[in-house]
Copies of this chain bind each other. A is one copy, B any other.
Amino acid sequence: MESEIKHTIPKSRTEENAGIFPSPTYFSPRQRVMRFFNTPRIVGRMSVVGEKESKGPLGKYFHKCETDDKLGEKTFERAEIRMFDTAVRGAIRDAKLGIEDIDLMVSGDLLNQMTTSSYAARDIGVPHIGVYGACSTMTESLLVAATMVDGGYYKNVLCATCSHFATAERQFRFPLEYGCQRPPYAQWTVTGAAASVVSANTEAVKRFPKIVMAIPGIITDFGTNDLNNMGAAMAPAAMNTMFTLVTETGYSEDDFDLIITGDLGKLGSDILRDLMRKSGIKLGQNYIDCGNMIYDVYQKCYQGGSGCACSATIFNSFIMDKLCSGEYKRVAYLATGALMSTQSCYQGETIPCISHAVIVESPYGGEE
């Protein structure tokens, strides 16, 4: 059945890439890009981070910094729920709305059965769609929220995600108490939470950035199986979506003020640059990776940050600030997620990854 597929990507590029794709189905033969013509806008947002993140280069942009890793709670899991709740309520407040105005919440996180997001959503009490895309959850939820708003089903949809270093390490690698040594290609899971409110376009919100397109990810697996080396695993997934970004949206890589990936880290983003170069696309200065930005070198986080909150907190603070002010006109945000579980890795499986993208434009300049 695979052999029947016809690619819409230029033939020369297909041939050039043939060697590095394990399966021809990796490119959808049809229009994969979703276009939102009713201009859903991001009208409210909040980012909460832990102490380590607040001491990094972007520290001053985050809205709230928690100095206690447990936030006064008994467990790290409870702390994560509390952070999530703070971000959600902060974003609703920032949008000048009340909880009663939120029609739907779309959220997810890293923990098994997405407990953080479910337990936090229980207390918020609005209709809830749980999405799982590991660290790509923020763009996945923005994609679903934009669809709900653009399609006219709901007026205000909340997106949120979070991660916590201690809970992620316990679940995916070892509990912190074990004192495990980290390899040099490891990344550091960001402790933080972020939320955005996506609203229907009205006169009152026309000064807010708009979501113009989205690209759902295709699960990509190049065969890595090292739970510590997430960047290398995720780079091919980012490449798959980025390829669609520059071939199907009508924009080239230079039409974006910024192309950001989620949490590939130093190694992963170098791999991505290399993979893209081999596909005939040269990423310039406008490409950055959030995992690369969030920590300083002296903070000893090796390859940089990871986790759902890594790109989510940066997008909802630094990047949205610059979209709101008009400094950035058009940003492509490609969060990346690794979809393995510890069980699947113990059983010798490789790591499948995904990257969902959204394109967000400033209300100033551009096409308006």
Contact = CB atoms under 8 A, between A and B. Distances in A.
Contacts of A284: none
A236 to B, nearest CB: 12
A65 interface: no
A124 B340 contact: no
A181 interface: no
Interface string A10-35: 00000000000001011011111010
B28 A103 contact: yes
Contacts of A131: 129-132
Interface in A339-358: 339-344, 347, 349, 352, 354, 356
Contact of A339 (B78, B104, B115, B340): B115
Given A30-B103, A219-B121, A114 B132 contact: yes
21 contacts: A2-B125, A5-B100, A25-B126, A28-B103, A30-B103, A75-B347, A77-B343, A77-B347, A112-B342, A113-B339, A114-B132, A115-B341, A115-B349, A118-B352, A119-B339, A122-B219, A126-B218, A127-B215, A128-B218, A132-B132, A144-B144
In the A-B complex, the 8 residue pairs with the closest CB atoms: A25-B125, A151-B151, A127-B216, A118-B339, A113-B341, A130-B132, A122-B219, A112-B341
Interface of A: 1-2, 4-6, 23, 25-26, 28-32, 34, 74-75, 77-78, 98-101, 103-104, 108, 111-115, 118-119, 121-122, 124-134, 140, 143-144, 147-148, 150-154, 171, 215-221, 339-344, 347, 349, 352, 354, 356
